[in-house]
Amino acid sequence: MLVYDHLLTLQEEVERIWKQKTSGATILFLINRYGTLLSFIVVLDAFHDPSWPRAVCDRFVMFEGAQTIVFVGICELIMILRVYALYGRSAIVLVFLMALWCAQIVMSGIGIHTGWAVPSPPDLNTGCILDGDNTLFLSLWVAPLVTDTFIFALTLWRIRRYKRRVRSTPLVQIFLRDGIMYFFAIFSANFLNFMIYVLAPSDLKPVGASFSQLLTSVMISRLVLNLRAVSNSPSTDHSTSQMSTGIYTYPVTKIQNMESSFMDYAIGNLGEDFDDSTERGAYSYWNMGQDDEMILNIRSVDSRRA
């Protein structure tokens, strides 16, 4: 699945990542995309190669758990920075989400240390698989569920505010669509792992662990590429593109500039300041009923034109 998605999106990656200015978000994207692939090459070799000694396998399963924590954590970090940008570089939002992220990493790390390597069947001397029966082992899937739930809720709350103020724009649609798709796909995969762990026999408990990690990696890669597509798309002709308020018609140049800056902040610069003054400057053109001063300014413009 991971390799197939790489091949499908390779052209988009070249155009939207490699040919663009390198940033911290670019580095996180590449670590997620290629680090996950390289680590799973080792995991697959350990699973299928009978030459791996049992003593080595017992130690290696800790690597399996650790790489899961690292790469899932990177995916969560990208989502956190996306929400950070969405909230205008709010320190409160960042501190709250980073506290959740740190708790997720710590709890997951404690969880893998309660696990062990699943013994191979006598007639099948292959397989290095991490398993555990301690309640803390569940944190490998429960902790990301909690973080993702808060990220999704904060995203919906902020997008709801934008959609009230402005007719739906490509940027808002991408944030909303990808946020919903990411949340339900990853939530479903992690919840499935949780249910398998609770209900399945011991030798089947880890069956969905790799799938959920790979799905997370694919979804995050798609999310970044989709946002970059909006960021790099040609601007609408300012001379003809307009928005009507019911009283006066205005060009959407400022809206486009706001969206371009938003994309730079959310993806190119890992969440620079997208403050409310910028937002108000773009949206106040049609948020008429809320501001008497704006109405007076519009009447002044109309009188000068007359």
Beta-sheet strands, E only, within 72-185: 116-117, 130-131
- Contact predicate 281/254, CB 8 Å: yes
Model confidence over 232-255: pLDDT tens digits? 665 433 333 343 333 333 344 444
Q: Right CATH number for 24-232 from 1.20.1070, 3.50.4, 3.40.1130, 1.10.3470?
A: 1.20.1070
Q: Could you give the angle at which helices 54-86 and 36-48 cross, rounded to 10 degrees?
A: 160
Q: Find the mean pLDDT for residues 131-149.
A: 88
Instruction: State the Cα torsion 163-24-180-154 to the nearest 10°.
Output: -60
**Alpha-carbon distances, residue 264 vs 48, 180, 270, 281 (angstroms):** 43, 22, 8, 18
Residue 191 has pLDDT above 80, yes or no: yes
> Given pLDDT bands bounded at 50, 70 and 90, which one contains residue 268?
low
Mean per-residue pLDDT over the chain, rounded:
76
The mean pLDDT of 174-198, rounded to a whole number, is 86
Rounded to whole angstroms, the Cα distance separating 213 from 281 reads: 41
Phi-psi domain of 271 (left: phi exceeds 0; alpha: psi -120 through 50; beta: other) = left
The pTM assigned to this predicted structure is 0.76
**Residues 231 and 257: beta-carbon distance below 8 Å:** no
d(CA 35, CA 30): 7
Indicate the burial class of 163 (C-beta count within 10 angstroms; 0-12, 13-18, 19 or more): middle
Q: Would you state the pLDDT for residue 68?
A: 93
Q: How many other C-beta atoms are found inside a 10 Å radius of the C-beta of residue 113?
A: 15
**Helix, strand, coil tally for the chain in percent (to 5):** 75, 5, 20
Question: Residue range 61-71: average pLDDT?
Answer: 92
Stretch 251-277: mean pLDDT: 46
For residue 55, pLDDT over 90 is answered with no
For position 94, what pLDDT does the model report?
92
Which residue in the block uniquely carries the two structure tokens 């300014």? 297
Percentage above 90 pLDDT, the chain: 30
